[in-house]
Amino acid sequence: MKASIVIPTYNESENIAELVGRLERVLDGRDYEIIVADDDSPDGTWKIVEEISKRNGRVSCLRRVGAAEKGLSPSVVEAFDRAEGDLLAVLDGDMQHDETYLPTLLDAAEDADIVVGSRLAEGGGVEGGWPWSRRLASFMAAKAAKLVLGVKVSDPMSGYFVVRRSFYRDVRGKLDPSGFKILLELLYLAKTARGDAVIAERGIFFRERRAGKSKLGPKVVMQYFVSLFKMRFLRPSGRGE
C-alpha cells in the first residue's frame, strides 16, 4: 500500500532536511511520497524542501501562500486532499516524533482505520520525562476526550498518526479543520459517522526538541478544550454539512 507522509511545518528550517533524510531511510523499500505542508514559513522552510524535491521526486512542498486559514489542521487536510497514498500519515516537523516507529504505524494501518502513535501506550515514552504540568495537561486531555466525546485513546493530542484513505474519504465532508485538533476530530468522526471504524494505538517515543521553538502553549491547550465542546454540542451528531 502506498504511504503518503504529511509533515505540517512553520519555521522548521533547522530540522526539515534532517527529518526528510531520516524518513527516506526508514521508508526505503516502500512505495511512498512525502508532502511538507508549509504555512509559508518566513525562515524559508519551503525553500529547503523544494531543493530536496529536485533530487527526490517523491518529496514535494505544499507552500500555503495566502491560505484562508493557517495552522496544523487545515495544513494536514489540504495535504491529505492532494495525497496519492492508500495510507495517510502525519508527524511533526520538529524531530520530536521518532521516525523509526513509522513503519510500525503503517503496518498496523493495514488492519485499522486510524492508528495513533501514543506516548502513553505500551512501548511509548518521553525523552527526559515530562514536568508535572505537562503530565497533568496530557491526563486531562485524555479524560476530557473520553468524557465529552466518548473517544477512548490514551493520547488524543498526539500529532503522530496514520489514517486509511478509505476512512478519510468517508468523513472528509464532515471535517471542520482548524487549530491543532485534526486527530481528535477524526477520532470523533470514527465514533459518530463511521461506527464500524477500527482504531489502534502503538507506543512511540517522543524526543526533546533539538532546534526551533515549540508551538504548544497555553493557547493551543485552550483551543483543544474549546474544540471538545464545539464538536460535542455544536455538532452533536458529528455530521456537519
In a domain, 239, yes or no: no
Low-confidence ranges of the chain (pLDDT < 50): 212, 236-241
Domain count of the chain? 1
Spell 3-24 as b/e; 16+ CB within 10 A means b: bbbbbbbbbbbebbeebbeebb
Grid coordinates of 183: 486527530
**pLDDT score at 211:** 57
Assess if residue 173 is contained within a domain: yes
pLDDT at position 41: 96
- The CATH number given to whatever domain includes residue 44 is 3.90.550.10
| Confidence (pLDDT) at 156 | 84
Contacts (Cβ under 8 Å, ≥6 apart) of 167: 113, 114, 190, 194, 197
Asked, for residue 34, whether it belongs to a domain, the answer is yes
Instruction: Give residue 3's region: left, alpha or beta (phi > 0; psi -120 to 50).
Output: beta
Name the residue among 68, 64, 4, 12 with its Cα closest to residue 214.
12
C-alpha closest to that of 69 among 39, 37, 43: 39
Which pLDDT score, from 0 to 100, does residue 241 have? Answer: 35
Could you tell me the residue range of the domain that residue 171 belongs to?
A: 3-234
